[in-house]
Amino acid sequence: MWKFASCDGCQLSILDLEDELLALASEIEIAYFLEATQTASDGPYDLSLVEGSITTAQDLERIKTVRRQSKALVTIGACATSGGIQALRNFRDVNDFLAVVYADPGYIDTLATSTPIADHVAVDFELRGCPVNKYQLLEVVTAFVFGRKPMIAAHSVCME
């Protein structure tokens, strides 16, 4: 599980699974999930779930590294699949926002845009929603674990 620019809400959808997560955990090894386990094992990885958008030069390099280390890469949530609410900056000068939000914007190093993961690396599946639906997330992970196509309707979802 990899986090980029996001609120962590989609990662929390995984933790919300509770009983289902315990069953799933017996089938997989969680190699990297700092939000939940502080586990950080080196790759390669069979499946990477990516939350968040690309907003810094460092993240742009990091997502390429994640892609190289991952057999399959799935983006989860509106931030990762469309740039998220932070993509509002794409329609204005990002320096205008920095001047309003930060007392000393000179310390902030950011790209002018917030972009989805698929703009930068190949993505095997996109799960939409804000946050993602936890049962759809379970279906996606289960499908990749067992080597089949996820059975998810191809439309955007806005969950509670």
Q: Which residues bind ligand SF4 (CB under 6 A)?
A: 6-7, 9-10, 51, 77-79, 84, 130-131
Q: Which amino acid is at 145?
A: V
What does residue 46 show for φ and ψ, rounded to 5 degrees? -70, -40
CB 61 within 8 A of CB 121: no
Question: Looking at beta carbons only, is 6 or 70 nearer to ligand SF4?
Answer: 6
- Minimum Å gap between C-beta 126 and ligand SF4 is 12
Cβ-proximal residue to ligand SF4, closest one: 9
Question: Looking at beta carbons only, is 45 or 116 nearer to ligand SF4?
Answer: 116
Question: Looking at beta carbons only, is 16 or 27 nearer to ligand SF4?
Answer: 16
146 is written with which tokens?
A: 């067992």
Distance of CA 76 to the CA centre of its chain: 5
